[in-house]
Amino acid sequence: MAPANPFDWTYLELCGALNDISYHVVYAVGDLPHNLWNILAASLGMRDRVLAPGDMTFHIGLADWLFVQNREIMVSLIAATLLLMFSLINVLMFIWVERKLLARFMDRRGPMVAGPFGLLQNVWDGMKLMTKENAHPARADMFAFFLCPVILVGSAFAAAGALPMSPKVQIASIDLDLLWVLMLFAFSPYAIFLGGWASYNKFSLIGGMRSAAQMLAGEVPFFLSVGGVILITGSFRFADIVAWQDAHGWLIHEEVSWRGEPGHPGATTVTLWPLRASGIAIFSMNIPA
Amino acid sequence: MWINIGPQHPSTHGLWDLRIKVNGEVIVDSDPQVGYLHRSVEKICERKEFIMAMPMTERLCYVANMNWTHLYVHAVEKLMNVEVPDRAKWIRVMVCEMNRVASHLFWLGAFVHDIGNLTMFLWPIREREYVLDLLEYITGARMMYNYPRIGGQVKDVDDKFLRRSKVVMDMILERTFEYEKMLDESDMFGVRTKGVGVIDRAMAKNAGLTGPALRACGVDFDVRKATPYWAYGEVDFEVPVYDEGDCFARYRVRLEEIRESCKIVKQCADRMPEGEFIGKAPRVAPKTYAWVRHEDPRGESMCFIMGTGGKNAYRVKFRSPAFVNISALPIMLLGYKIPDVPAVMGSIDVCIGEVDR
Amino acid sequence: MLPPGAPPVPVSTLPPAPECVELAARIEEAFKGKVKAAKAMNPLNPGIQKELNVFVDVATDHKALPDLWRWLRDKEGFDHCSLVVAIDHMDRIEVKHLLFSYTSHITVETSATLDRIDPLMPSASLAWRGANWLEREQFDLMGVKFVDHPDLRRVLLPDDWIGHPLRKDYEFRQAGEWW
């Protein structure tokens, strides 16, 4: 029925597994939902809906309603959860790595001593960010001002949707995956400029223009190195690129410098350039334009 | 278009306003506005007795306190013709040089922080903490030391301090080579500081620029060598002089001055003479005037003091090197772009406490 | 207070250095009659190993000052204007300019006496740009007006301040101060 390796499951098999798990969870929890349902039905005066003890029709009906009849909605919910989890944990891990490296370079104490491997530092940073005040200029255009980070983060998370989670499961994959992701990256300069424009302040405007110029200038090397991938694998789809690498060996060994030396400049660029777009000071990011 | 950089701005290192006239991105004129921190120290010093006015001078340049308090006390001693014992002279040299090291380290951190190099901000500050710990050991305070008195020092230094200071200065001397490697081999730092904020020799001398900024233009003038005071005539050190006159030369001069000051402190610790650390001083000053010239970490600082025959001063005037260096800033900014402003402002080493008094 | 023309004391009994004596003689010769006194001093120096001072008193005859300054800068190599200080004796204002030579390490102190009600004097900022802000500060705090100063405005106090605080008869909380 379902393939043995979970990485070969489709959404159908995934939903089936969740159905089984929920059945077992309900059985383990036992009488509680049964009693709650009985209290609800009795208080509303619906005597014919009250269940006898040991009667599981309600729970099976609920699971059936969720996972079989409304399959599409559950699939979308699972996809959205996977996407958010992947993106957020990715962000956490990148921040943790950056903090650890900076702590070693700059002789900082926090990430070296807080928690095992400095992981609690992330927790404290998150809590600190949550408790900060949402300040804004008095005469700024509120909608556009708060839209700027929404576009930035939203486009980055949406780009994570094009990544293949397994050979059968892709959240939002199309024939022109790579083009779709590059288009999402192209939103960043626009969003930053929008934020600068929306604050009622000529210094913010100048700053927004300069940041947007830096982002735009950074797109060219990135697109060039991605172009190498497209030409070699012959396809824009991520699944096809992965399949090509499965068959022919990893592209990181193929990317060479223009003199033919295995310098991996393209691979380095493609891996680290999105970090530059998020403001980390590599590849001349912090140099004022 | 006139743009204000300040008065509240993270890279001005103090409360002052640099108004620049820009044509697009290029600076065509500038007009620094100081005085936000004016506390009328000179007027207050006229109302207080000499030693009571000494804590006022501490707050003049709060990063290099020892140099300013000792300057004032030296001027009062010259006015009253008080002889200071040898041990006090050597202690003064040692402590002033340690404060010069601390001030230059702090300057280095703030300067490269503005350029964008955050790692090099934390390393000198960490070194400065060791120096501040040493000074806290003898004076009890990290910043407002209140250490000199008319005729000497308030407390003696002991052997533990001398031993520890040698260890700390050795460590700082080693680490300046790390800073050098980090910054000299950095292309980014070079692009932002080499050839930026150039001032030529004749203009620098005429504009009253003194201190490391002048030595970076090729003029070999250091008050400690020209008119030596206390024990500077007997201590062996060199004065670094560079020729280019840009921000990078000013940074190199100060980095090498840190090394020279470390050597001076080690020599003082070895050669500290025994004896009294304070001499007798009268309470009233004669009806005359005197002035004294010192080498502050920022340049040539002077204190002019006139006595009345009573316990107060009649007129006190401090010549602050940063005040005159800021007045030379418009010359250095002409023709450069807005992003060069933090680099040039930082390389002048401004401490607004002494500019505004 | 100090009578006009008083030299800087305390003065040592040792004779002053020969280069100071020669410089004082050259000043006397070049500005005969225009300068009231030019003396080489050897002040008592507790703690200073080497100090070369020459004191030049111009008193109220200020016309000689710009020529003197330019002569010192061009002929004698005094490149640096160290200090400008104005002192309010109750009956007059005395302004000192301290000039320094990087080559010979001599400090020349020129002293001018000004009328207290309308203190005017020529500006050294035409000879040394470094004196520009120093003179602005003395205008700001003491009220000394330097004729032909290129930019005589207040530097430390706000631009609309009334009065000159370092004068001895400055009253605190006088009209014009609002805090």
pLDDT tens per residue across span B216-228:
999 999 999 988 8
Mapped to the 3 state alphabet, what secondary structure does B189-233 carry? HHHHHCCCCCCCHHHHHHCCCCCHHHHCCCCCCCHHHHCCECCCC
Q: Which two tokens stand for residue B93?
A: 């040299």
- What's the rounded Cα separation, in Å, for the pair C32 and C169? 37
Contact between B172 and B130 under an 8 Å Cβ cutoff? The reply is: yes
β-pairing verdict for B17-23 and B2-5: antiparallel
Q: Which two tokens stand for residue A111?
A: 């990430």
> Which residue, among C82, C88, C76, has the nearest Cα to C100 in the 3D structure?
C82
| Average pLDDT of every residue of chain A | 81
Residues in chain C within 8 Å Cβ distance of B291: 83, 98
Name the burial class of residue A36, with classes exposed (0-12), middle (13-18) and buried (19+) by CB atoms within 10 angstroms of its CB: exposed
> Which residue, among C134, C143, C48, C145, has the nearest Cα to C98 in the 3D structure?
C134
- What's the rounded Cα separation, in Å, for the pair A69 and A22? 16
What integer pLDDT is reported at residue A263 of this predicted model?
A: 57
Q: Name the pLDDT band for A286 (thresholds 50, 70, 90).
A: low
- What's the rounded Cα separation, in Å, for the pair C89 and A229? 85
pLDDT tens per residue across span B56-110: 999 998 999 999 999 999 999 988 888 899 999 999 999 999 999 999 999 999 9
pLDDT for C57 beyond 90:
no
What integer pLDDT is reported at residue A221 of this predicted model?
A: 84
Does A281 sit within 8 Å of B119, measured CB to CB? Answer: no
Q: Name the pLDDT band for C100 (thresholds 50, 70, 90).
A: very high
pLDDT tens per residue across span C144-177: 999 989 989 999 998 888 888 888 888 776 555 5
> Which residue, among A74, A38, A77, has the nearest Cα to A54 in the 3D structure?
A38
A101 near B CB under 8 A: no
**Buried/exposed code over C133-143 (b: 16+ C-beta within 10 A; e: otherwise):** bbbbbbbbbbb
Contact between A257 and A269 under an 8 Å Cβ cutoff? The reply is: no
> Which residue, among C118, C117, C135, has the nearest Cα to C126 in the 3D structure?
C135
Interchain contact B/C (3 or more Cβ pairs less than 8 Å): yes
Closest residue, chain B, to C157 (C-alpha) = B35
Percent of chain B with pLDDT over 90: 63
What integer pLDDT is reported at residue A289 of this predicted model?
A: 45
pLDDT for B133 beyond 90:
yes
Q: Residue B246: what residue type?
A: D
Its pTM stands at 0.84
> CB A275: neighbour CB atoms within 10 A?
15
> Which residue, among B221, B265, B324, has the nearest Cα to B130 in the 3D structure?
B265
Highest mean pLDDT: which range of A185-189, A223-227, B319-323, C147-151: B319-323
What integer pLDDT is reported at residue A257 of this predicted model?
A: 54
Q: Which chains touch A (3 or more CB pairs under 8 A)?
A: B
Give the containing element (helix H, strand E) for B29: strand B26-33
Q: Which two tokens stand for residue B47?
A: 């109302």
Q: What are chain C's domains?
A: 18-147 (3.30.460.80)
Q: Residue A45: what residue type?
A: G
Interface subset of B 75-134, CB within 8 angstroms of C: 77-78, 81-84, 89
Task: Identify the residue whose tokens are 């049964």.
Answer: A34
Highest mean pLDDT: which range of A5-14, A126-135, B292-301: B292-301
Does C156 sit within 8 Å of B38, measured CB to CB? Answer: yes
Q: Which two tokens stand for residue B197?
A: 């904020």
Q: Which residue did the predictor score with more confidence, A14 or C134?
A: C134
> CB A174: neighbour CB atoms within 10 A?
12
pLDDT tens per residue across span B328-348: 999 999 999 888 898 999 999
Please name the residues in contact with A140: beta carbons below 8 A apart, sequence gap of 6 or more.
A198, A199, A200, A201
Does B228 sit within 8 Å of C48, measured CB to CB? Answer: yes
Q: Please state the rounded mean pLDDT for residues C78-106.
A: 91
What integer pLDDT is reported at residue B125 of this predicted model?
A: 93
Q: Which of A184-193, A274-283, B154-163, C114-123 has the lowest mean pLDDT?
A: A274-283
Please name the residues in contact with B29: beta carbons below 8 A apart, sequence gap of 6 or more.
B20, B21, B330, B334
Q: Please, what's the largest Cα pairwise distance for chain B?
A: 64
pLDDT for B171 beyond 90:
yes
Interchain contact C/A (3 or more Cβ pairs less than 8 Å): no
> Which residue, among C114, C111, C59, has the nearest Cα to C92 in the 3D structure?
C114
Q: Which two tokens stand for residue C174?
A: 């006088």
pLDDT for A157 beyond 60:
yes
Name which of B150, B288, B331 to mutate to probe chain C: the one with the most chain C Cβ atoms within 10 A of its Cβ. Answer: B288
Q: Starting at the edge strand that comes first in sequence, how are the strands of the sheet with C106-114 ordered?
A: C37-41, C52-59, C106-114, C92-100, C80-89
> CB A49: neighbour CB atoms within 10 A?
13
> Which residue, among A273, A91, A86, has the nearest Cα to A161 in the 3D structure?
A86
A206 near B CB under 8 A: no
pLDDT for A258 beyond 60:
no
Closest residue, chain B, to C45 (C-alpha) = B78
- What's the rounded Cα separation, in Å, for the pair C144 and C146? 6
B201 near C CB under 8 A: no
- Which of A107, A286, A287 is nearest residue B123 as measured by Cβ atoms? A107
Q: Please state the rounded mean pLDDT for residues B236-247.
A: 92
Distance of CA A105 to the CA centre of its chain: 29
Torsion of CA A20, A26, A30, A32, to 10 degrees: -170
B29 near C CB under 8 A: no
pLDDT for B317 beyond 50:
yes
Residues in chain B within 8 Å Cβ distance of A286: 116
Residues in chain B within 8 Å Cβ distance of C47: 74, 77-78, 84, 89, 229-230
What integer pLDDT is reported at residue C1 of this predicted model?
A: 46
Closest residue, chain C, to B231 (C-alpha) = C47
Name which of C11, C14, C49, C136 to mutate to probe chain B: the one with the most chain B Cβ atoms within 10 A of its Cβ. Answer: C49
pLDDT for C6 beyond 50:
yes
Residues in chain B within 8 Å Cβ distance of C49: 227-229, 232-233
Contact between A284 and A226 under an 8 Å Cβ cutoff? The reply is: no
Q: Which residue did the predictor score with more confidence, A82 or B312?
A: B312
Distance from CA of A99 to the nearest CA of B (A): 13
Contact between C143 and B264 under an 8 Å Cβ cutoff? The reply is: no
Distance from CA of A269 to the nearest CA of B (A): 19
What integer pLDDT is reported at residue A261 of this predicted model?
A: 62
- What's the rounded Cα separation, in Å, for the pair A229 and A266? 9
Highest mean pLDDT: which range of A32-41, B5-14, C129-138: C129-138
Q: Starting at the edge strand that comes first in sequence, how are the strands of the sheet with B2-5 ordered?
A: B2-5, B17-23, B26-33
Q: Name the pLDDT band for A3 (thresholds 50, 70, 90).
A: confident
pLDDT for C47 beyond 90:
no
Q: Name the pLDDT band for A95 (thresholds 50, 70, 90).
A: confident
SS3 B241: coil
> CB C127: neighbour CB atoms within 10 A?
24
What integer pLDDT is reported at residue C11 of this predicted model?
A: 60
* Helix, strand and coil percent figures for chain B, each rounded to 5: 50, 15, 35
Q: Please state the rounded mean pLDDT for residues C21-50.
A: 77
What integer pLDDT is reported at residue C173 of this predicted model?
A: 66
- What's the rounded Cα separation, in Å, for the pair A59 and A270? 49
Please name the residues in contact with A55: beta carbons below 8 A apart, sequence gap of 6 or more.
A34
> CB C160: neighbour CB atoms within 10 A?
7
Closest residue, chain C, to B288 (C-alpha) = C9
Distance from CA of C66 to the nearest CA of B (A): 16
Does A108 sit within 8 Å of B188, measured CB to CB? Answer: no
CA-to-CA separations, B25 to A192, A200, A286, B188, B281, in angstroms, rounded: 21, 21, 18, 20, 58
- What's the rounded Cα separation, in Å, for the pair A254 and A249? 9
DSSP string, A220-251: HHHHHHHHHHHHHH--S-HHHHHHHHHHH--G
Does C50 sit within 8 Å of B83, measured CB to CB? Answer: no
- What's the rounded Cα separation, in Å, for the pair B298 and B354? 10
Please name the residues in contact with B315: beta carbons below 8 A apart, sequence gap of 6 or more.
B42, B46, B289, B304, B305, B306, C85, C87, C88, C166
Q: Which residue did the predictor score with more confidence, A8 or B69?
A: B69
DSSP string, C116-144: SSS-EEE-GGGT-TTHHHHHHHHHHHH--
Question: What is the DSSP code (8-state) at residue A170?
Answer: B
Q: Name the pLDDT band for B179 (thresholds 50, 70, 90).
A: very high
Q: Residue A28: what residue type?
A: A
